[in-house]
Amino acid sequence: MNFFKKLLLGNVAKNYNPKYNPIQKRILNIKSIWNNDHQEDNGIEKIVRLFLSSTQLIFPGIYIKYLASKKGYEYEDLAMDLYVLAKVIFPILILTHHLQYEPYIIYILIYVVLETVFYIPTLIFASDLFSRPRSYKRSMLLLFFNYIEIVVSFAVLYTLGDNMNKPFVHWFDSIYFSVISSISIGYGDYYPITTFGKVLVSLQAMFFLSFVILFLNFFSTKIKSKGYFDDDTI
């Protein structure tokens, strides 16, 4: 048991008790934007920041983090890690078990994907409202899983109806098409022929352009390497 605690929880201080829980901090952040406590924004910038900060309250992520904080501060990151991984696995299960033809499954998928879609721009436009992460490398890793989640989720949407020039034969074919669409390669073996399919491809291309260029660069500038070779005495 100690082995798994060390592996999954690390050396997070168990005696640390935050003054506010995750939900309270989010509400305080919204009030802070409204009152211009940290930034003198106005107009469309303030509206966008208020909107992005508020959207986090309508998705399950913050409530999962809140429930985990009840057990202990050290469990918050672990709970979010598992939640992010579950969001990656969910669309894969949809494809492998052909569940995309169940309307309620698609509604759930869109709901959880929208959480990620809104979270990414929140990191840019309202990043000053987030607590500093203990590890930017962990944040980069979670961002990579967010990328996979979006790729596979779009793959599910591509299978809805006859949107391609030919049907997907294997469940992985739609993931393949989603990957090459997100990185703008396109080999021509699959391409959209319906308006819905073209809209999906366009949205995915625009989203991943901002995802890769803006957000990976945003995090990479904050990562500081630290290792054995930094110490000249070794």
Residue 28 lies in a domain: no
Please report the pLDDT score of residue 231 as a whole number. 47
Please report the pLDDT score of residue 228 as a whole number. 39
Separation CA 186–CA 18 (nearest Å)? 48
Please report the pLDDT score of residue 30 as a whole number. 87
Q: How many domains does the chain divide into?
A: 1
Mean pLDDT per segment of 10 residues, for the chain of length 234 residues?
A: 68 64 86 84 89 91 91 83 95 96 94 90 70 72 89 95 92 93 78 93 83 62 50 46
- In a 3-state reduction of DSSP, which class is residue 101? coil
Say which residue the tokens 């809805």 belong to. 160
Given its phi and psi angles, is residue 159 left (phi above 0), alpha (psi -120 to 50 degrees) or beta? Answer: alpha
Separation CA 34–CA 126 (nearest Å)? 12
Q: How many helices (H) and strands (E) does the chain have?
A: 10, 0
Q: Please report, for the domain that includes residue 193, its CATH number.
A: 1.10.287.70
Q: Between the CA atoms of 141, 144, 145 and 151, what dihedral angle is there, to the nearest 10 degrees?
A: 180
Tokens in use for 178? 């989603």
Phi, psi dihedrals of residue 43, rounded to the nearest 5°: 60, -140
Q: Which of 47, 86, 83, 46 is nearest to 62 (CA)?
A: 83
Please report the pLDDT score of residue 41 as a whole number. 84
Residue 30 lies in a domain: no
Residue 121 lies in a domain: yes
Residue 96 lies in a domain: yes
Tokens in use for 61? 């992520």
Residue 101 lies in a domain: yes
Residue 135 lies in a domain: yes
CB atoms inside a 10 Å sphere around CB 231: 8
- In a 3-state reduction of DSSP, which class is residue 205? helix
Please report the pLDDT score of residue 232 as a whole number. 46
Residue 51 lies in a domain: no
Residue 82 lies in a domain: yes
Please report the pLDDT score of residue 189 as a whole number. 86
Residue 103: domain span? 76-230
Helix, strand, coil % (nearest 5) of the chain? 70, 0, 30
What global pTM score does this model have? 0.84
